[in-house]
Amino acid sequence: RFTRAGERKPSGHHLFDQECQAHGIEHRLIKPGRPQTNGMVERFNGRISDVLSTRRYVSGEDLEQTLKRYAWLYNHHIPQKALHHQSPIAVMKEWQIKRPELFTKRVVNHTGPDIYKLIIPKKILCF
């Protein structure tokens, strides 16, 4: 949502704000005129779109499982340039060592993509 005055805090009156509040999600607004931030979101959405276009889904549960698998793969095994070519989980583990007070659970990295391939049918991994 675009605001002329450049407010950074959600009003709380918008339906999306209310949904976020109902689910305990912090809704943040980006600074107006910051295409870099929006570009990161759009790039991630494009990756999700590519994953979803690789096959047909027989049910909502099938689609949900594919999205969960991709999120797991993305977070645990895909290095990100913005994170100095590390996966998000690897960076979280470093943060947990430096700032343990920010975490309520221990960050755990799971086994690599080779094990993951055994669980997921090969046709899903056509990213």
Q: Given this model, what pLDDT does residue 82 score?
A: 84
Look at residue 123 and tell me whether its pLDDT is greater than 50.
no
pTM of the complete model beyond 0.85? no
Query: How many other C-beta atoms are found inside a 10 Å radius of the C-beta of residue 3?
Result: 12
Query: pLDDT per residue over 52-96, tens digit each?
Result: 998 899 999 999 999 999 989 988 888 988 899 999 999 999 999
How far is it, in rounded angstroms, from Cα 51 to Cα 68? 12
Q: Alpha carbon of 112 to those of 67, 76, 77, 83: distances in Å? A: 18, 8, 7, 19
What is the residue type of 117? K
